[in-house]
């Protein structure tokens, strides 16, 4: 048994990033990092592309790694304009919920990694993991890049 454990230890040379324990309070450094992410989610819920764009650094972009129910995988990169163009007014209610974010901050850069579920009209539509890269300029955090995985199976509702 100890040989198996030794082999497994060799497979993962680094410990995985510890999972967060919950959303940080707004008055903390971590809360400040989460502010533009929360504002982006509010813009998404309001289906307001201008509110979303206000949280983004113009030179960044979005990447989605999608897994279709049949197992087909695709990766797509979008400019912020393409990303925001996908958010259009409509009757459906959108909501994205993250849980247990892992937040890392070093000076004026930050990273947030969190599982999410995306709901349409209260029903789980897809889920995965969000990864946000942020930079602080003139005291304000902006989202530089968003990368997320997306799948429609195995989502918690």
Count of domains for the chain: 1
- CATH at residue 47: 3.10.450.50
Is 143 within the bounds of a domain? yes
Is 121 within the bounds of a domain? yes
CB 122 within 8 Å of CB 93: yes
Paired tokens of 84: 């925001």
Domain of residue 102 covers 25-151
Q: From first to last of the 157 residues of the chain, give the pLDDT tens digit.
A: 444 434 334 444 444 445 454 555 555 799 999 999 999 999 999 999 999 999 999 999 999 999 998 999 999 999 999 999 999 989 999 999 999 999 999 999 999 999 999 999 999 999 999 999 999 999 999 999 999 999 998 897 6
Is 156 within the bounds of a domain? no
């Amino acid at each position: 048994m100890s040989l198996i454990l030794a082999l497994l230890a060799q497979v993962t040379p680094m410990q995985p990033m510890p999972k967060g324990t919950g959303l940080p309070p707004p008055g903390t450094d971590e809360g400040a990092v989460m502010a533009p992410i929360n504002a982006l989610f509010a813009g998404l819920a309001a289906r307001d592309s201008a509110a979303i764009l206000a949280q983004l650094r113009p030179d960044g972009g979005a990447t989605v790694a999608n897994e279709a129910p049949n197992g087909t995988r695709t990766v797509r990169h979008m400019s912020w304009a393409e990303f925001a163009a996908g958010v259009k007014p409509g009757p459906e209610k959108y909501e994205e919920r993250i849980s247990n974010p892992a937040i890392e901050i070093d000076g004026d850069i930050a990273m947030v990694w969190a599982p999410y579920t995306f709901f349409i009209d209260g029903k789980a539509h897809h889920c995965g993991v969000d990864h946000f890269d942020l930079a602080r300029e003139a005291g304000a955090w902006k989202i530089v890049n968003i990368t997320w995985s997306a799948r429609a199976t195995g989502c918690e509702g």
